[in-house]
Amino acid sequence: MRRDNNVVPVHHREIGDDRLDLTVLPLVLVMYDLLHIEDMDICRNSGVFEFPMIGYYETFATLILDMRIKCNCIYPYSGRFCEIPPRKCDSSDPCLNNGLCVDVESDVNCVCPSPYTGKTCEIGPCSTNPCINGKICKVVGQTWACECPKPYFGEHCEKDPCTSNPCMNGGKCNVVEENWTCDCPKPFFGKRCDIDPCTSNPCTNEAKCKVVHGNWRCDCPKPFFGKRCEIDPCTSNPCMNEAKCKVVDGNWTCDCPKPFFGKRCQIDPCTSNPCMNGAKCKVVGGNWICDCPKAFFGKRCEIDPCTSNPCKHGAECKVVDGNAACDCPKPFFGKRCEIDPCTRDPCMNGAKCNVIDGNWTCGCPKPFSGQLCEIGQ
């Protein structure tokens, strides 16, 4: 509610003064009437009541008689209380969108309802054609709204399923019914063209995957190689005897557990085969020992019953059932071939016994003769 700044102010009472200043009573009554006149709704057709200037002794009736109570009218209404409607057009009505046609000095004028404007009320929220893709614009209240057919959406119907550009890697988005599909360039595939031959990360050992002519290729860091860079110098497991293989400066080395050594840890104390005569070599405490078969002994099982050469007269010694056996040449015999025909000394009279071609003969001294030199003169 508007208040006029030209209204004469009411005199205030002094503090402690119980008397009422009756000179301001008429003004108070007029102000009371004015303050409630809006509630009487005297202005028509949305006109606005205008507060008049008043003096001390003016009454409401005086204001009415002086024609100082009036309303500010909204075009095209007029009159003291905006009670006079416009004169409607006699000719054909050029006004659009429910505009009110009025005669104004032999011309026509259109009074446009909100939100329409223009000479014939032809301009409205949809006049700028805010809806794209040939969609329908509707006036809703004081603004516009687009009626978007599927699959379009957005304030201007400017969006469709492909607006967010869901396709990757240069894929072309196509609207199919109410959804989107991606036309993927080679070698990409997947719903969003988000997959290529390298997506599954086929390369190992931190190798870099590259797409070459539609296929994947691994750029292997040294010392790795192979299609997926899955091979290194240790892949073939060159180390033996449970040794650990390590890659050092692009080559492999073996960390050998005791007592193994050598490039591949392939050598141990038994590798040189120190044991003899079919003995089994064993590694015990980092050293070798020989497990000798029967009748062999010695550190290397190099000793047997024949080692000391117990057979005589060139007889061949053989180990039989763990013992020495002598193969005696003729005419020798005995356990060690120590006996021959002359062993019993059959010759007499100081004759010397000789073995010739496996037989024995006596070399008789003169004057003795006979097989045993037993005949004298």
Q: ∠242-247-253 over CA atoms, to 5°?
A: 50
The pLDDT value given to residue 275: 95
Q: Is 261 helix (H, G, I), strand (E, B) or coil?
A: strand
User: Is 4:53 a contact under the CB 8 Å cutoff?
Assistant: yes
pLDDT confidence of residue 162: 93
User: What per-residue confidence (pLDDT) applies to 101?
Assistant: 86
The CATH number given to whatever domain includes residue 151 is: 2.10.25
CA distance 11 to 23: 9
Question: What is the secondary structure of 13-55 as a DSSP string?
Answer: PPTT-----GGGHHHHHHHHHHHTTGGGT-S-TT-EEEPPP--
Which CATH number do you get for residue 84? 2.10.25.10
Domain boundary among 183, 218, 252: 183
Q: What are residue 107's phi and psi, to 5 degrees? A: -125, 170
Q: Which pLDDT does position 313 carry in this prediction?
A: 86
pTM summary value: 0.40
Ramachandran sector of residue 216 (left: φ over 0; alpha: ψ -120 to 50; beta: rest) = beta
Phi, psi (degrees; rounded to nearest 5) at 64: -65, -45
Residue 98 lies in a domain: yes
Question: Backbone phi, then psi, for 60, in 5-degree steps?
Answer: -60, -40
47 falls within a domain: no
Look at residue 271 and tell me if it is in a domain. no
Residue 245 domain flag: no
Query: Which tokens is 264 given?
Result: 């591949």
> Does one domain contain both 149 and 173?
yes
Distances (CA, A) of 137 to 120, 131, 310: 20, 6, 129
- The verdict on residue 66 lying in a domain is no
Is residue 356 a part of any domain in this protein?
Answer: yes
Of 57, 92, 124, which one is at a domain's C-terminal end?
A: 124
375: Cβ contacts below 8 Å, ≥ 6 apart:
368, 369
For 162-230, give the DSSP string. TTT----TTPEEEEETTEEEEEPPTT-BSTTS-B-TTTT----TTPEEEEETTEEEEEPPTT-BSTTS-
The residues near 169 (Cβ < 8 Å, ≥ 6 apart) are 184, 185, 188, 193, 194, 196
Domain membership flag for residue 53: no
Give the domain extent around 119. Answer: 75-124
List the chain pLDDT tens, one digit each, 377 residues: 333 433 333 333 333 344 334 344 444 444 545 555 555 577 888 888 776 665 544 555 555 545 566 788 877 777 788 887 776 776 678 888 888 888 776 677 888 888 999 988 989 888 888 888 777 888 888 888 998 888 888 888 889 999 999 999 999 999 998 899 999 998 999 999 999 999 999 999 999 999 888 889 999 998 999 999 999 999 999 999 999 999 988 889 999 998 999 999 999 999 999 999 899 999 988 889 999 998 899 999 999 999 989 999 889 999 888 888 999 988 888 999 998 888 888 999 989 998 888 788 999 999 999 988 998 86
pLDDT of amino acid 219: 95
Residues 93 and 114 in one domain: yes
Instruction: Kindly state whether residue 359 falls inside one of the protein's structural domains.
Output: yes
How many domains is the chain built from? 3
Give the pLDDT of residue 7: 36
- Which of 86, 102, 124 is the last residue before a domain boundary? 124
Nearest-angstrom CA–CA distance, 198 and 169 = 13
